Chain A
Amino acid sequence: MLTKRIIACLDVTAGRVVKGVRFVDLLDAGDPAELAHRHATAGADEIVLLDITATHEGRKTLVDTVARTAREIFVPFTVGGGVRTADDAAALFDAGADKISVNSAAIADPSLIGEVGRSFGSQAVVVAIDARRGNGGAEIAEVYVNGGRKPTGRKALDWAREAEERGAGEILLTSMDADGTRNGFDCELTAAVSSALRIPVIASGGAGNAQHFAQVFKAGCADAALAASIFHFGIADVRELKSELAVLGVPVRLPC
């Protein structure tokens, strides 16, 4: 049976993992290669590394970080943040990324999706969508770019459909409304996007406990869920999260 994926996300800047400052935690900062290996060993189904500053000067550092991190892991490895051109993507693939995630640059030039897909296969192209709907329904959710700072006037559902048509392999959908709340994923938005598409949808934003993951897999129809700060809400590691999900009736890769 195809299982629901738990994806561990590392936010990286200048070659170091950075984490929220509200919690005292071992992972406040750390080495990406070391942490990726630890997550993979603990049962993460995939690793995502996001360059959250994504400056031009930082690209070389990022490629080095990706190469070093990729050496340690034998599960799928996605890299995103500041991928603007097919050449940017190619450098990350060469360094060991299995998939790249594109966000703002794909909105600015949607042909980037097909361009990367033609060279590396559509399975290697994840289109990341940051969306906000406030108190409105899922259908009015709007896409934001530049790290959630700039509204685009585009509907998330329309953009997700276009991304699929252009050859995206997966959608990484972050609810800006839910992000950081720890009150649960935006199941309504996730379900709306997931049921409108044929490709897998990864839910992101709002995770607070194992119940939230179960909800987004069931009511939210998510194929995978991203755990950016999984160690910050009392769950020891991915294996513990998966054990709880198995009890809640979610098919997960266990033992892992």
Chain B
Amino acid sequence: MIAVIDYKAGNLTSVMKALTALGAAAQITEDPAVVRAAERVVLPGVGHFAATARLRETGIEDAARESIAAGVPFLGICVGLQWLFEGSTEASGVAGLGAMRGCCARFPDSHKVPHVGWNTIAAAGASRLLAGLPPQPFVYYTHSYRAPLVEETVGVTNYAGPFSGAVERGNLFGVQFHPEKSGDAGLQVLRNFLAVPRC
């Protein structure tokens, strides 16, 4: 079973729909016990970084840390990717998971914000998450804050400079774009995540 974490930050219907379409058994939950028991964990999110404070309050963060340490594949989407970092200037008092170094920051005023629409993502090194995609596939983004390039970056997108479109390390994965809204390319990314063995 796949735990899709609900932290009251937006709509989970589309993520559930995509996972279901790929034949996965997924369950929306805010129960740490369900997260601990899950074979895979997905942390969606289209809201404000501050909403991730709820993950700590509800004990989900501890459950997620244990699952990740135990090798359970974990995928953060959008704000879910940002949460893997140390924090975001969107909510400076709220710490992220800190699994990846650096802080997320707002796009500069030189560009329209949010960054909305289909943009290309370029592979940066070997990636299980982006395997089987055409070179420079288009994926759908909608966000105002972005994660820096780090050693875990496996996909780079440019908008007012380069940022992490996809990150992965071991069983930990994150995508800033919305795979559930990115057509065939997005479904392939989710399929890849579903195929990652527990490590």
> Do A and B interact?
yes
Q: Does B114 contact A (CB under 8 A)?
A: yes
Q: DSSP class of B's interface residues: helix, strand, loop or mixed?
A: mixed
Q: Which of B115, B120, B158 counts the most A-chain CB atoms under 10 A from its CB?
A: B120
- CB of B118 within 8 A of CB of A3, answer yes
- CB of B183 within 8 A of CB of A2, answer no
**Among the listed A74, A75, A124, A199, which residue makes an inter-chain contact with B11, where contact means beta carbons less than 8 Å apart?**
A124
- CB of A198 within 8 A of CB of B113, answer yes
**Which one of B12-20, B60-68, B148-156, B162-170 is at the A interface?**
B12-20
**Among the listed A1, A2, A98, which residue makes an inter-chain contact with B14, where contact means beta carbons less than 8 Å apart?**
A98
Q: How far is the CA of A98 from the CA of B46 in the complex (A)?
A: 10
Q: Given A1-B158, A256-B138: A74 and B118 within 8 A (CB)?
A: no
Contacts of A223 in B (CB 8 A): 112, 116-117
| A-B contact list, 15 entries, CB within 8 Å | A1-B120, A2-B115, A3-B117, A3-B138, A45-B118, A70-B17, A74-B186, A75-B140, A120-B46, A121-B11, A123-B114, A124-B46, A199-B114, A200-B117, A256-B183
**Among the listed A4, A76, A121, which residue makes an inter-chain contact with B9, where contact means beta carbons less than 8 Å apart?**
A121
A248 to B: closest C-beta gap in Å: 18
* Tally of chain A residues near chain B (CB < 8 A): 33
B138 to A, closest residue via Cβ: A253
- CB of A93 within 8 A of CB of B114, answer no
Enumerate the 9 nearest inter-chain pairs by beta-carbon distance, A residue then B residue, closest first.
A123-B142, A253-B118, A121-B46, A253-B138, A93-B11, A2-B119, A121-B10, A121-B47, A200-B116
Contacts of B10 in A (CB 8 A): 120-121, 124
B136 to A, closest residue via Cβ: A1
Q: Does A5 contact B (CB under 8 A)?
A: yes
Contacts of B178 in A (CB 8 A): 76
Contacts of B138 in A (CB 8 A): 3, 253, 256
**1/0 per position for B155-194, CB-CB distance to A under 8 A?**
0001100000000000000000010111110110000000
- CB of B118 within 8 A of CB of A200, answer no
B186 to A, closest residue via Cβ: A74
Q: Given A120-B11, A123-B46: A5 and B117 within 8 A (CB)?
A: yes
Contacts of B113 in A (CB 8 A): 198-199
- CB of A5 within 8 A of CB of B14, answer no
**1/0 per position for B22-66, CB-CB distance to A under 8 A?**
000000000000000000000000111000000000000000000
Q: Does A94 contact B (CB under 8 A)?
A: yes
Q: Given A74-B186, A123-B116: A96 and B17 within 8 A (CB)?
A: yes
A108 to B: closest C-beta gap in Å: 25
